[in-house]
Chains A and B, each alone.
Chain A
Amino acid sequence: MSSPFLEIDGLNKGFGGLKAIRDVSFSLGREEMIGLIGPNGAGKTTLLRLITGILKPDSGAIRFKGKKINGHKTWSIVNQGIVGTFQNMRPFRRLPIIANVMVSCLSPRAMKRGEWVKRVEAKAMDALEFAGISDMALEDASTLSQGDLKRLEVARAVATEPELLLLDEPFGGLSPAETDLMGKSVKRLHKGGRFGRLHSEGPAMIIIEHKLQQLMKIVERIIVLNYGEIIADGPPEEVVKNKDVIRSYLGGGGI
């Protein structure tokens, strides 16, 4: 049997006395799109940060396509095909929006050798087109609204042409209509194909999200974290019926 696409094996991470991630193990297939949910402070963002190499795990292994990647630098992980977005959007505030996306197009992974800056710019434009903010390409990133920043974040991630995309609350701060639109974009991206000059491999995805209803529309599998441990893992319909999940996360209020 070939090794899984992404395999997380006995991962631990603590901050001082606090254990943020406890013995987390799961694997993800190339075609999968999963949701990651849990109460605040459950370690969801920490998990993504461990995968992208921003944080180093205390113990355990992260294998991508059978190769151990923990300990690698973030930029090198991006070049192997994993890219993440931030929960709090962090654009390059003082660069125009188009330049924000061009930076991702520069990663050796997305760029063929000898490509001209003009072509990179065209590609970045296509990424913006995909995210739906191409009309604002020349404005400074600091002028964007919350929802548009989210789109910029997605455009930047897409421009690296990832095989595994980690989205941290892509619907956070969006209006219901915007959420719907973003959900559709994400799904379309997952299917893959070409968007202008931009090529999408149809990345596998891990999505952290609190808006469960929207999340359940687009993912086939949900992992629930609580106090750094996985308490449920399965199809959305099953997970929402799980007693542990209801007690720790869904509470009395329902979804």
Chain B
Amino acid sequence: MLLDIIISTLINGSVYALLAIGFSLIFGVARIVNIAHTAFYMIAAYCIYFITNSLNLHPLLGMLTAIVLVTLIGLISYKFFIDPIREHEAAVLIATIALAMILQEVMLLIFTGDFLSVPSLIKGYMEFFGVRIAFQQLLTIGVALVILAAVWVLLRKTRLGLAIRSTANDREVANLMGMNVAQVAMMTMGVSVALAAFTGAVVVPLTILNPHMWMHPLIMMMAVVVLGGLGSIKGSFVGAYILGMAESLVVFLIPMGSFLKGSVALSIMILVLLIRPEGLFGVAFEEER
């Protein structure tokens, strides 16, 4: 049981962390609340399904294609759909909701509303104190952690990372220091959507595909971001594992209680906000300006 909880915490937490960090990045740099973020995660999953099931190609090829393709779709929708109205924050919010709905309806049209699944990348499982752990689960956790580490290196050690961090911190000053903020925003969008696509790629063998599958992660991701502190990458990371653990605890410890997992996680978020309105690692707003 304990092992089950740990595994499930690591999977949920990693997925939420990947999603929340991508969401935080584009919010920080361009002040875009991208509701369509998890919709990109959904289309990445469908893309893999299409390539493996309909074209009968290797899942690995499917994952790579999906990541490239979805990133492209993300960049195109940013360029033509979000960027022209970026000055108007409420309009951007509504536009991204519309974008998410469009993607959902398109998937519904192509793949119908049936529940679909993708075979595991590696078969088999190992038994550990009587608990079955599928190799696919371990692979998902491993890859997710590698991607998280890569994001950390990108942000800390590269020029693009410095550009992203500084623009997120103060857009106007970055501009004044010779930073092409429009270009930085575009590249951040690319990184952000690529992260969503990666997430879709690593979890697709463990999950069930459905055109509404973006809803639950969206709510959890937003909760993670708010819990960790808006715009704080570290906060998103820690918050993701806290909520991921809360979910798995509910699922495994409350009999027949898995329908409660969302509400318990959100209650934790509300509790933290009551005590620390800026979130765990957030910055109080008067300083942010």
Contacts from A to B (Cβ < 8 Å):
52, 54, 73-76, 78-79, 83-84, 86, 90-95, 99-100, 102-104, 106-110, 117, 120, 142, 156, 160
Contact = CB atoms under 8 A, between A and B. Distances in A.
B176 A52 contact: yes
A2 to B, nearest CB: 26
Given A92-B170, A102-B162, A107 B177 contact: yes
Given A93-B287, A99-B165, A117 B157 contact: yes
Contacts, number: 76
Interface string B176-190: 111111100000000
Q: Is the interface of B mostly helix, strand, loop or mixed?
A: helix
A92 B173 contact: yes
Contacts of A108: 178
B177 A90 contact: no
B163 interface: yes
Contact of B179 (A84, A90, A99, A106): A106
Nearest to B232: A94
B183 to A, nearest CB: 9
A109 B179 CA distance: 10
Given A93-B287, A117-B158, A74 B175 contact: yes
A103 B287 CA distance: 21
12 contacts: A75-B181, A76-B180, A83-B176, A90-B173, A100-B166, A103-B166, A103-B177, A106-B159, A109-B178, A110-B178, A117-B159, A160-B177
Contacts of A99: 162, 165-166
Contacts of B159: 106, 117, 120
Contacts of A160: 177-178
B175 A93 contact: no
B215 interface: no
A93 B283 CA distance: 11
Most chain-B Cβ atoms within 10 A of its Cβ — which of A92, A102, A103? A103
Contact of B174 (A76, A94, A103, A110): A103
Nearest to A74: B175
A76 B163 CA distance: 16
Given A103-B162, A103-B166, A75 B178 contact: yes
Interface string B54-75: 0000000000000000000000
Closest 9 CB pairs of A and B: A107-B178, A78-B178, A92-B169, A103-B166, A104-B177, A74-B175, A75-B180, A90-B173, A103-B177
Contacts of B162: 99, 102-103, 106, 117
Nearest to A111: B159
Contacts of A86: 173, 176
B166 A78 contact: no
Interface in B204-260: none
A69 B283 CA distance: 37
Contacts of A120: 159
Interface string B269-286: 000000000000001000
A109 B180 CA distance: 12
A95 B179 contact: no
A92 B182 CA distance: 18
Contacts of B163: 103, 106
A54 B171 CA distance: 12
B59 to A, nearest CB: 36
Contacts of B174: 92, 103
Most chain-A Cβ atoms within 10 A of its Cβ — which of B159, B176, B287? B176
Nearest to A99: B162
Given A103-B163, A117-B158, A93 B178 contact: no
A75 B179 contact: yes
Nearest to B177: A104
Given A106-B159, A117-B157, A120-B159, A92 B166 contact: yes
Nearest to A82: B178
A76 B169 CA distance: 20
Contacts of B180: 73, 75-76
